Amino acid sequence: MPERNTGVAADNRIELRIGINLGDVIVEGDDLYGDGVNIAVRIEALADAGGVLVSNTVHDHVRDRLPFLFEDRGEQQVKNIARPVRVYRVRDAAGPRSPSAPAPPVLPLPDKPSIAVLPFANMSGDPEQEYFADGMVEEIITALSRIRWLFVIARNSTFTYKGQAADVKQVGRELGVRYVLEGSVRKAGGRVRITAQLIDATTGTHLWADRFDGPLEDVFDLQDKVSASVAGVIEPSLQAAETARSAGRPTADLTAYDLYLRAYAMVWSSARQISEALHLLEQAIARDPRYGPALALAAICCYRLDREADRPKGVDFARRALEVAGDDPGILANAAQALAYFGEDIGAMMALVDRALTLNPNFARGWLISGHLRNWVGQHDIAIEHVEAALRLSPRARVGDSLLAIGGAHFFARRFVEAVPKLLLAIQDDPSFPLPYRFLARMLCPYGSARRRARGCCPAAGHYRCGDIGPQPLSEPRGPRAFLGGSAPGGGRGGMSQTRRLAAILAADVAGYSRLMGADEEGTLERLKALRHELVDPKIVEHRGRIVKTTGDGLLVEFASVVDAVRCAAAVQQAMPERNTGVAADNRIELRIGINLGDVIVEGDDLYGDGVNIAARIEALTDPGEVFVSNTVHDHVRDRLPFVFEDLGEQQVKNIARPVRVYRVVTAARRCRRPSRCRCPISRRSQCCRSPI
């Protein structure tokens, strides 16, 4: 819209207000109505011109999936809606912040001094020298990071403020730091001037400011002075020996240094630029054959290009980098990753990365590389922990490589349902990098029932391999190149397409099914068949559900309406006591039902993704004869159905990153006759036993 309004007088501009809500709607012909529509309209009325506001239900579904920031506007009382609606403003991560918008949630301060170094302003007047100012900031960040007691936010996160007039208090809240360093670089002729000031982000107080002048050949001395001065202000007790650990001067050849800085920006922006970056790095190495950072980054380029012709060159670059690395964590970690990928002893390479992290515990990329290597040796959960540590140290960095590592960890662990969304997001971050496509290609192979189990219906899905029918122990990966190279076993899936949609997912199974089958296999199967034919399937049809798949005693059902899903579950459970009349307690068939409302991935007639996983995990928590629902279900139906919803608190469920708040559905058809038999949490038992069940 701003482009369309260019040249249009302010009074004549067309500016849109947009409001979005996710909710249950009533369909009548081509028309929609109900609170799901009403809330969207009311939110739109609250939006600023040119703004987008969303409800909390939208925010909860997309906050981890889209590259936008969501500013909490608080709860808003809107017309004709009984409960207040929490509203969020959507803005681009790199765009300017609305002056009236509240800050994002505050990150907690670490338990040690913490700092973010903002991009220094380039005062040279020459846009071509922008990279030089950025390089100076990177060197200062590296120097500060090597002070062991200092928590330093990574470059990629702080550089999202580049070109903005950032408020240091806001920066401190968004990055979770107490101190902010900002400044400028002026380069003229053969001299450089660095100015810097340290600010307490909690109060806005200036703690320290200074200026450093010197010839270009002493630029690294200036870096040491800045880092030593800042460390002295933050923690006077830091020993001079610790400040001496600041990054060593990589080279006195500034031309080679300039080439390295230009290449560095290319390597991490797009895989399409890696060849050009490698060319620049080779020029830098020709000027300074012992320039460790360039050697290590050139090895990474050879690894990311993944061409057999580049392998010998990549190995040579990495080995030469290690010869000159000393205690530089960046050189050690980058060289180790490249050599591990090219087939060197991976245990030795992991030791090098561990050494790099010992030298610099705040080295975000080091934790990321450690995650990749842990994946390659089969330590998948540790890999995820290390990548998450990298994301905490650099919360505003591009996340494509991190998502690739997490997706790869789930892939190697055969958690395909969790792997796919991460890999798809990694592709969105850099569509030109081939590794995520290879992971996905390996998963999109026809491996029959094992594949269906891996999509969320069988807790043992991690014990099956592509093409297998029965359980087999997983073998350790043979190394990244062997595992990811070549074609997928069994061929590809050809034209199978994927889409996403919102759905209410009902997961159900029989409590004690193994015990029932052990006692009377034929009788149990007959009674279960009758139950399906006479009660369960008709109720699903009555409430407009679709059976996605069955797994012995289990069902996975999709509903377009979450209200219909809860009504169906309640109707089934209300009818079960009558069916069990006269049946011995040990022989009764009792169902457990879990319901979730969430985003699902659709492939043919099948569904998978976190929307399905959470429903299955909630069902596993459910007591026999009960219905448990997620908070997303509760928020949509609590005022629309004549049931009581008992809050069971947040539950940590397997393979789901965030805890899920769970509610027990209490209908008016049953009552808790004996408190001793109530299955509600103790803290809520007295309330439950006064309520209809």
Of the CATH numbers 3.20.20.80, 3.30.70.1230, 3.40.50.1860, 1.10.443.10, which one belongs to the domain with range 10-92? 3.30.70.1230
Count of C-beta atoms within a 10 Å radius of residue 235: 14
| Residue 493: predicted pLDDT | 36
In the numeric block, the tokens 């996905």 are attached to 440
- pLDDT tens across 334-354, in order? 999 999 988 888 888 999 999
Radius of gyration of the chain (CA): 29
- Encode pLDDT of 377-390 as tens digits: 888 999 999 998 88
Instruction: Please give the residue that has the higher pLDDT: either 294 or 197.
Output: 294
Q: What is the pLDDT of residue 354?
A: 92
Fold of 252-361: 1.25.40
With a CB cutoff of 8 Å and minimum separation 6, the contacts of 416 are 410, 443, 451, 454, 455, 461, 608
Reply yes or no on whether the pLDDT at 541 is more than 50. Answer: yes
Least confident of 127-136, 493-502, 518-527, 614-623: 493-502
pLDDT tens digits for range 550-569? 877 789 999 988 999 999 99
Kindly report, as residue ranges, where domains of CATH 3.30.70.1230 are found in the chain. Answer: 10-92, 499-689
| pLDDT tens digit sequence for 154-177 | 887 888 888 776 778 888 888 888
Tell me the whole-structure pTM to 2 decimals: 0.42
In contact, 477 and 378? CB cutoff 8 Å: yes
Residue 266 in this model has a pLDDT that exceeds 90:
no
User: What does the pLDDT average to over 671-688?
Assistant: 39
Q: What is the percentage of the chain residues whose pLDDT exceeds 90?
A: 21
pLDDT of residue 505: 94
Please give the CATH topology (third level) of the domain spanning 114-243.
Answer: Rossmann fold (3.40.50)
The CATH number of the domain covering residues in 499-689: 3.30.70.1230
Backbone angles phi, psi at 577, to 5 degrees: -60, -40
pLDDT tens digit string along 65-124?
A: 787 888 888 778 777 777 788 888 888 755 544 444 444 556 777 766 778 889 888 877
- pLDDT 10s digits, 481-522: 544 444 333 333 334 456 778 889 999 999 888 788 778 878
Q: Per-residue DSSP letters for 89-136?
A: EEEETTSPPPTTSPPPPPPPPPSS-EEEEPPPEE-SS-GGGHHHHHHH
Q: Residue 104 has what pLDDT?
A: 53
Alpha-carbon span 520 to 540, nearest angstrom: 27
Q: Is pLDDT at 234 greater than 70 in this prediction?
A: no
pLDDT at 10 over 90: no
CA torsion through residues 166, 425, 433, 405, sign? positive
H or E, element range at 559:
strand 554-559
Question: What is the model's pLDDT at position 663?
Answer: 94
Instruction: Count other Cβ atoms within 10 Å, centred on residue 15.
Output: 13
pLDDT digits (tens, 9 = 90+) for 638-663: 888 889 999 998 888 777 777 889 99
Spatial CA neighbour of 420 closest among 390, 396, 440: 440
C-alpha 575: how far from its chain's center?
A: 42
- Report the distance separating Cα 262 and Cα 258, nearest Å: 6
Beta strands (DSSP E) in 141-260 are 151-152, 179-188, 191-200, 205-215
Token pair in block for residue 604: 């043919």
**CB within 8 Å of 688: residues ≥ 6 apart:** 646, 666, 672, 678, 680
Helix (H) or strand (E) holding 634: helix 631-637
The Cα–Cα gap between 21 and 129 comes to: 46
Residues 6+ apart with CB under 8 A from 413: 380, 381, 462
Please give the single-letter amino acid code of residue 663. Answer: Y
Q: Where in the chain is the domain with CATH 3.40.50.10610?
A: 114-243
Q: Which residues pair with 117 in a beta bridge?
A: 181
Band (pLDDT 50/70/90 cuts) for residue 244 is very low
Structure tokens at 209: 């400011």
Residues in the chain, how many?
693
Cα separation, 622 vs 616, in Å, equals 10
Q: Considering only residues 343 and 591, tell me which one the structure prediction assigns the higher pLDDT.
A: 591
